[in-house]
Amino acid sequence: MRQCSDEMEASAHFRRYNARMDVSHLLDGLNADQREAVTATDRHLLILAGAGSGKTRVLVHRIAWLTQVVGVPPWGVLAVTFTNKAAREMRSRCDALMPDGTRGMWIGTFHGIAHRLLRQHWQEAGLPESFQILDSDDQLRMVKRIIADLGLDDRRFPPRQAAWFINAHKDEGRRAASIQGGNASTDPFLEIYRAYEAVCQRAGLVDFAELLLRSHELLLREAGLLDHYRRRFGTILIDEFQDTNALQYAFVRVLAGDTGSVLVVGDDDQSIYGWRGARVENVQHFLRDFPQARMIRLERNYRSSANILAAANAVIANNPGRLGKRLWTEDADGEPIDLFAAHDENDEARYAVARVREWIDGGGRAGDCAILYRSNAQSRAFEEALLQAGLPYRVYGGVRFFERAEVKDALAYLRLIANRADDAALERAINTPTRGIGARTLEQVRARAREEAVPLWEAIAREIEARTLASRARQALSGFVDLIERLDASGADLELAPRIDEMLAATGLRAHYANESRGMMDARTDNLDELVTVASRFSRSEEDASMNELAAFLGYAALEAGEGQAESWEDGIQLMTLHSAKGLEFAQVFLGGMEEGLFPAQRSMEEPGRLEEERRLAYVGITRARERLILSWAESRRIHGIDTLGAPSRFLREVPPAVLREVRPRIHLLRPAQVAGGRAMGSSDAAGGFRLGQRVRHAGFGEGTIVDAEGSGAHARVQVNFEEAGAKWLVLAFARLEPMA
């Protein structure tokens, strides 16, 4: 009876719309391929949608076409996106196209739809009615408690890695009971998974991965429920299909069954989340698993110039096993793609800022400029250059360098070494990483500090002397005190960078974050290495000349952490990783750090399939640009305080030379052997009125002599051999050099 009623309602719905609606507006403005995708009568469709090809518009118009022309009732449509923001946008755009709106339609993320399903069928799912959702922080805290309860060493089995182990198996549809044991390295994590499942079940708690896993199990176990939802959701549409993992694809297949109609929109060339479980092969498997599925390519790009598309097409063509497509545009070729060979990461950052200034001076908005990089650690040099230039910026989807947790952990130790009375630094450092100093011990120390009005450091000394604490707690506190004193003494004769390096090793911070990141994509150890690099390049300003180097560096870090980030209402340059940039677009894009070993990352060359994903990431980065694209690599990059020579990324070599413009012309001159009487023999003056052999003064570095120069205009720079600071390359636009008589 229910099925008959549904069919009658659908028929009435169809007649009502046809009687009163002109649906021509659903096809207005669509190109031929987009129209084909919107109006296709095939039961199953794969829309292979290239970057900037209007896929969201096609998806929305397809939903409207199905409901207003084909007669599919809105409550018969299930539309899945990957972010809540995308779901809201889809619903809003559908409401604008459909007279009766999206009432009854399910539009949401996989997790959101699974949550809705479990709320409606909590009993069948084996959950309490008031079950709660664990976010990632709550999950991590619970895993930490379980590791402690099991008596496991959290240094050998880090909580973050254990949570990753649990979520990765859930994303593959595996319960702890279905995982084969017998592996000494993973059996403890399996034990944690079992205990975690038991605790969650008792407490009625569900993490994000559990939402979909339990929903999938519910449909497989309850045949009547599955039949109901198959009849209800006869039309399923999935956006960003290349980002689906094994469980999400299994969920779609189960729900569609043999009767449903499935349309997926995706781009195998933009699958960049393999490290978190996404399976690019799902795109190709769709054609195998859904008989008679038809593929429609959307290749016309509405975003980028022809030169930018030529670069993107050429790079991605080197990936094997693609379904294949070639982006094109009716727009002009546009500007050539600029290729900049920087001397080092600071030169690269200065050039990026110069191009931003050029854009703004030409009437452009700062917010239309993006600086993209492979690793979060690369942001530091760009942030520093933007601060020096006085330009506001925003770190998109991330935190400014000196505000990142691991960097603040390291700075806390340095602050405590510099000043034992720094209570905030002591509170942060004392148990990071954990060293057996419990909450009750710390509270007793705090109580003494309050009662005797002394800093925590002094309170610790008095507690140790008074012997009021248990022996184990006293030993742990004594060990911490000895560590700080030892680092203070041993670092007195070290330069700043090796001093910080020694601290990272002796405190266990580097090992702690490396251990937590095992098997996962994590840039926290890179950020600690970058802190050493920052220190190796740090020089005290004239104002800080009376301070010791460590104190001056800590002051610099604190000031830089508190400035520069644009407010939400301000126009600011966008800084972000390539992964964060997916789905966004900018008029001008600067893509930095394009060196072998950095991009593509070194580890991508060691694991099957990773190099192809890195190339897809390059493709995503290139196609973010609308008008201008600047690619950059550095001949030398300081990593872990050591200058390493770089080679251009293979991705640069894959860009057609015809669309590239090298923007670093070297002015011929300026080798010391050519000097005669303060002038370069047979050459004109260096850029900016300075010349080879000229004596100059700099506020921070003191007096020196110009020994080399290159470039012109805003990009001109000189190498100065300073008497105390050594040789430095300085961009004249920012250097504030003064000629000496």
Largest CA distance in the chain: 103
pLDDT of residue 17: 45
Q: Catalytic: 240?
A: yes
Q: Which of 6, 16, 36, 56 is catalytic?
A: 56
- The string over 463-487, giving b where at least 16 C-beta atoms fall within 10 Å of a residue's C-beta and e elsewhere, is bbeeeebeeebbebbeebbebbeeb
Closest CA to 636 of 514, 727, 575: 727
| pLDDT above 80 for 564 | no
- Record the pTM: 0.74
User: Rounded to 5 degrees, what are φ and ψ at 440?
Assistant: -65, -40
CATH of 309-400+565-662, one of 1.10.10.10, 3.50.50.60, 3.40.50.300, 2.160.10.10: 3.40.50.300
When pLDDT is averaged across residues 613-631 and rounded to a whole number, the result is 97
Instruction: Report the DSSP pairing between strands 337-342 and 660-662.
Output: parallel
Reported for 40-43, long-range contacts at CB under 8 A and 24+ positions apart, including other chains, are 40/294, 40/296, 42/292, 42/293, 42/294, 43/261, 43/262, 43/292, 43/293
CA dist., res. 346 & res. 378, Å (int): 10
CA dist., res. 108 & res. 636, Å (int): 46
Homologous superfamily assigned to 403-553: PCRA; domain 4 (1.10.486.10)
Burial class (CB in 10 A: 0-12, 13-18, 19+), 652: buried
DSSP one-letter string for 305-344: -HHHHHHHHHHHTTSTT------B-SS---SPEEEEEESS
Close Cβ partners of 203 (under 8 Å, ≥ 6 residues apart): none
CA dist., res. 44 & res. 292, Å (int): 7
Confidence of residue 5 (pLDDT cuts 50, 70, 90): very low
List where CATH 3.40.50.300 sits in the chain. 2-120+212-300, 309-400+565-662
CA dist., res. 56 & res. 71, Å (int): 21
Q: Which of 33, 34, 55, 267 is catalytic?
A: 55
Name the CATH architecture for the domain at 2-120+212-300.
3-Layer(aba) Sandwich (3.40)
List where CATH 1.10.10.160 sits in the chain. 132-203
Q: Which of 394, 624, 637, 717 is catalytic?
A: 624
Q: Catalytic: 239?
A: yes
Residue 153 corresponds to which amino acid? D
pLDDT of residue 468: 84
pLDDT tens digits, 38-88: 999 999 999 999 999 999 999 999 999 999 999 999 999 999 998 888 898
pLDDT of residue 181: 87
pLDDT of residue 699: 76
Closest CA to 618 of 600, 604, 605, 606: 600
Q: Which of 81, 102, 244, 270 is catalytic?
A: 270
Strand partners, 577: 373
pLDDT tens digits, 84-108: 888 989 999 999 998 888 889 999 9
Q: Give percent above pLDDT 90 in the chain.
A: 55
pLDDT of residue 7: 47
Locate all alpha helices (DSSP H) within 68-152, ordered by sequence. Answer: 84-97, 110-120, 136-149
Q: Catalytic: 289?
A: no
Q: Catalytic: 533?
A: no
54: left (phi over 0), alpha (psi -120 to 50) or beta: left
Q: Which of 171, 210, 240, 268 is catalytic?
A: 240
Q: Which of 154, 191, 207, 239 is catalytic?
A: 239
Closest CA to 729 of 348, 311, 172, 257: 348
Q: Catalytic: 463?
A: no
CA dist., res. 407 & res. 430, Å (int): 15
More confident residue, 513 or 741: 513
| pLDDT above 60 for 302 | yes
Closest CA to 265 of 53, 93, 108: 53
CA dist., res. 315 & res. 310, Å (int): 9
pLDDT tens digits, 441-487: 999 999 998 899 888 999 999 999 988 888 889 999 999 999 999 99
Count the residues in the chain: 741
Between CA 463 and CA 468, with CA 464 as vertex, the angle to 5 degrees is: 60
Cα torsion through 402, 407, 410, 415, rounded to 10: 20
pLDDT tens digits, 633-682: 998 888 767 778 888 999 999 999 999 998 864 433 233 333 333 333 23
In the chain, what are the helix, strand and coil shares in percent, each to the nearest 5?
A: 50, 15, 35
pLDDT of residue 178: 94
| In contact, 102 and 74? CB cutoff 8 Å | yes
| pLDDT above 90 for 574 | yes
Q: What is the CATH number of domain 132-203?
A: 1.10.10.160
Q: Catalytic: 170?
A: no
| In contact, 707 and 727? CB cutoff 8 Å | yes
